[in-house]
């Protein structure tokens, strides 16, 4: 069948769907990097030392989990993360806050330059979109590295960190001092 010019001009539609069967009251709340680490270990299980996987935790304004999305799967020492894929999930779920985590199969949780660059890029785009990117964890079987715990404001700048508060506070818990 040959495609005609008229066929090329027909509109095509993209449908985005987010479905959940979990009630808001039943959702778990992420309170700190330790909670992220426990969730990461549960998700990665026996794949922790096999290959890199990158996950996005989608949160509502109260830091309750809307969902967890696998955004990249790679080799034993690297993976490619497409920021467009991350923000497809963010927009689809109508998330207010996000956390990224990935494993280092080597067991060394020290961030690479690529990890820093990814964190910086997501921070910049999140800021433009009004999304609070509150942490990026690098995990192994025995330990984790948290950008927010390490106060890496050079690459991760959630609104609450800018005001010297924990990025895991609910937005309603953040009270800024009145300059007057």
Q: For 71-102, what is each residue's pLDDT tens digit? A: 988 888 888 999 999 999 999 899 999 999 99
Q: Where are the beta strands (DSSP E) in the chain?
A: 53-59, 65-73, 97-103, 132-139, 144-146
Q: Are strands 132-139 and 65-73 parallel, antiparallel or unpaired?
A: unpaired
159 or 51: whose pLDDT is higher? 51
Q: Over the stretch 87-143, which tens digit does the pLDDT of each residue have?
A: 999 998 999 999 999 999 999 999 999 999 999 999 999 988 999 999 999 999 999
């Amino acid at each position: 069948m040959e495609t005609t010019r008229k066929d090329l001009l027909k509109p095509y539609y993209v449908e985005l769907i987010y479905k959940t069967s979990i009630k808001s009251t039943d959702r778990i709340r992420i309170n700190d990097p330790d909670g992220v680490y426990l969730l990461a270990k549960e998700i990665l299980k026996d794949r922790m030392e096999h290959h890199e996987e990158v996950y996005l935790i989608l949160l509502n304004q109260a830091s309750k989990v809307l969902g967890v999305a696998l955004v990249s799967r790679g080799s034993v020492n690297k993976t490619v993360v497409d920021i467009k894929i991350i923000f497809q999930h963010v927009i689809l779920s109508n998330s207010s806050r996000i956390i990224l985590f990935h494993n280092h199969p080597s067991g060394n949780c020290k961030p690479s330059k690529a990890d820093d660059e990814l964190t910086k890029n997501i921070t910049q785009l999140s800021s433009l979109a009004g999304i609070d990117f509150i942490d990026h964890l690098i995990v192994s079987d025995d330990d984790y590295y948290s950008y927010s715990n390490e106060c890496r404001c050079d690459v991760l700048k959630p609104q609450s960190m800018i005001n010297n508060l924990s990025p895991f506070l609910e937005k309603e818990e953040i009270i800024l001092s009145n300059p007057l």
